[in-house]
Amino acid sequence: MAMIQCPECGQEISDKAKKCIHCGKVFVEEKPVNEEIKCSECGAVLAKTDDICPNCGCPIEEPKADEPQKVEVTNVKLSVNKKKAKIIRGVAIVIVAVIIAVIGIKFISENNAKKEYAENYEKLIYLILDGASDAESAGALIHDVWYNTIYEKDDSKTDTYTKDSNGKFYDDFNTSLLMLMLSDSFTSDIDDIKSNQEQVQKMMKNMKNPPEGYEDAYDALKDFYDAYTKLVNLATDPSGNLSSYTSDFNEADSETMNTYKAALLYVED
């Protein structure tokens, strides 16, 4: 006995079954118990015990056992396979759609990250430039006060710091520098420079991991930041002698300008 699938409901049944035990589909109609047996030759009604027709003498053949209706298994399986194929295709379409959506979201996310990085990069470039400009002015004033005290050079911008109340130059340039550091205007300038430096440092931390394609831009930005830091330190904490300070300041000032120009090349139009 083999198992086949019911063409009506698709459930497994025996190939000998006359009807489906699941849905009741009838494959072979059973003959009534009292059905008459007739001669195939003359049509006379025969008794179940007759071997030949008493009317015409025709031999009586044994009725063949009813065979169950054959079920076309191939078509049923094909139908089921088609259903499975549709489901598989549907699942595949969903998976592809999800993949495309994920790729699209990732692409949009990466583009947004790059756009945000580029915007912050430009803001930081000009923020550093502002701080460097203030540090350059402060450092230049420190140099002039220092220099004019030693060489007793009159200058309307430095006389307030290099001369006492009698208009006489201080003997020690450190006194002149101290007068400068204690002045309200210079103190305010230094506070602005330090505030700028704090903002720059915070933004630099967020620029450490550049998106793909911005690695060189970050390197240029880092060089600019390092040069700016040297210049700021010279303005907020001068040290050494006049000659070394002048040399260090000029070098830092020049390096800051050069690295600014290099970093500016990566600012998008």
The pTM is what?
Answer: 0.60
Residue numbers of the domain that contains 43 = 1-29+37-71
φ, ψ (nearest 5 deg) of residue 135? -65, -35
Question: 37, 63 in Cβ contact below 8 A?
Answer: yes
Q: 216-246, pLDDT tens digit by residue?
A: 999 999 999 999 999 999 999 999 999 999 9
Give me the pLDDT at residue 129, please. 97
The pLDDT, as a whole number, for residue 110 is: 62
Give the per-residue pLDDT at 118: 93
pLDDT score, position 102: 53
Please state, in angstroms and as integers, the Cα–Cα distance from residue 121 to each residue in 18, 92, 99, 250, 269, following that order.
82, 43, 32, 26, 13
Residues of the chain with pLDDT under 70: 1, 28-35, 61-86, 90, 92, 96-110, 269
Q: By three-state DSSP, how is residue 212 classified?
A: coil
Same domain for 59 and 183, yes or no, is no
94 is a domain residue: no
Q: What pLDDT does 155 receive? A: 96
Whether residues 149 and 253 share a domain: the answer is: yes
The CA distance from 238 to 176, in Å, is 13
pLDDT, tens digit, for every residue of 100-129?
655 554 445 567 889 999 999 999 999 999
Residues 48 and 176 both lie in one domain: no
What is the pLDDT, as a whole number, of residue 82?
Answer: 63
Contact 211, 112 (CB under 8 A): no
pLDDT at 12: 84
The answer on 234 and 141 residing in a single domain is yes
Nearest partner of 131 among 229, 255, 258, judged by Cα? 229
Same domain? 129 vs 231: yes
State the pairing for strand pair 3-5/12-14: antiparallel
